[in-house]
Amino acid sequence: MLLTVDELAKELQVSPSTLYAWAKQGKIPCCTPNGIVRFDPEEIARWLEASRKTVPTPLPPALNTNTPSNLPRLIARAHREVYTRPHGETRPKSSLIRKEEKDGAV
């Protein structure tokens, strides 16, 4: 017996609109007999088991922003990328109409 969107939404404790979005994006296994979204309980069980086993990989030490020692270095790098040295002003952005060439902003 296939589950309806409302039945599975209650079981997973998510909104029905979330299930519709997941189904449309292919994130959750479903079938659409006559255009109605339905879920096979066995496929959902396998999908849940597979999602439990996936563990997010930690960031490499160079990109781990939770380390206090990296924070001053990250701030300094961001500061160098955004500000010019003489005046502390932000760098002008180029535009699609190339107006900045006439204004001397390049």
pLDDT in tens, 43-94: 999 999 888 766 667 766 665 555 566 777 878 887 777 765 555 555 555 5
Please report the pLDDT score of residue 102 as a whole number. Answer: 62
HSE on the CB side for 82, CA within 13 Å? 6
| Sequence spans of domains, the chain | 5-53, 70-103
Residue 33 DSSP code: G
pLDDT at 61: 61
pLDDT for the residue 66: 58
Query: What tokens does 69 get?
Result: 């020692």
Q: Which residues in 33-63 are b (16+ Cβ under 10 Å) and which e?
A: eeeebbbeeeebeebeeeeeeeeeeeeeeee
Per-residue pLDDT, 91: 56
Report, as an integer, the average pLDDT of 12-16: 94
